[in-house]
Amino acid sequence: PVDEKFANHMDKAAARNYLAIPQSQDVFLVMSGGIGVGNAGAICDEILRRHSGAFTVYILVGRNSDLKQTLEEKYAGNEHVRIVTFTKKVNVYMNAADVMISKPGGLTSTETFVQRVPLVAVHPIEGVESNNAEYMARNGLAACPETNEELSATVNRMLDDPSVSETMLQNQRRLIPKNA
């Protein structure tokens, strides 16, 4: 089960207004979980290297102060990157995003599906998360690239062809109960 706030969808424009995010840019949400795990820096680097135009990458680092400090030092002065520490507004960030990038953990994935956000699931932990990724890919719930280079191509394809994300969202609506 997920927190009830994830079932209460906020439209993208309202979420961006609430978070003071410009409407006319691509928004990438990179989630590293409440304890801040995963390779968020490498994911961000790949997006920065391959994406152009108006965009921002929001990296949610949870409570991981070391990761926060590392990323803040690495991206100091970069107008395209915002580091966000633990927040109770994850659902609002999800609603504001064009694409969410996260490990395929059970809770975060379910929250994403209930929110109806296009998901790119990366870097699964062998075992349950790799099984989650296989299920998601097989059922069209998320894109599951195996490398950061594939991740970039996948994200760009989702932004260039809205039908890719829309098909994913239709599969989420079909398979994941709104009140999970």
DSSP assignment of 41-68? HHHHHHHHHH--SSEEEEEEEET-HHHH
What residues does 55 pair with on adjacent strands? 26
Phi, psi of 151 (to 5 degrees): -60, -45
Cα–Cα distances in angstroms (integers) from residue 161 to residues 61, 62, 153, 174, in the given order: 29, 31, 12, 21
Report the run of H or E that residue 167 belongs to, with start and end.
Answer: helix 162-175
What's the first-to-final CA gap in the chain, in angstroms? 5
pLDDT of the chain, 180 residues: tens digit per residue: 788 898 888 999 999 999 999 999 999 999 976 555 568 888 899 899 888 889 999 999 988 889 999 999 999 999 999 999 999 999 999 999 999 999 898 888 999 999 999 999 998 888 889 999 999 999 999 999 988 889 888 998 998 899 999 999 999 999 998 877
Beta strands in 15-111 (DSSP E): 26-31, 55-62, 81-85, 99-102
pLDDT at 35: 52
- How open is the CA angle 125-84-89, to the nearest 5 degrees? 90
Beta-strand relationship, 99-102 and 119-121: parallel
* Cα 176 to Cα 116: distance, rounded to the nearest angstrom: 9
Distances (CA, A) of 72 to 3, 33, 160: 30, 17, 30
pTM for the full predicted model: 0.92
- Distance (Å, whole) CA 47 – CA 148: 9
Residues 6+ apart with CB under 8 A from 3: 91, 111
> How much is the pLDDT for 38?
64
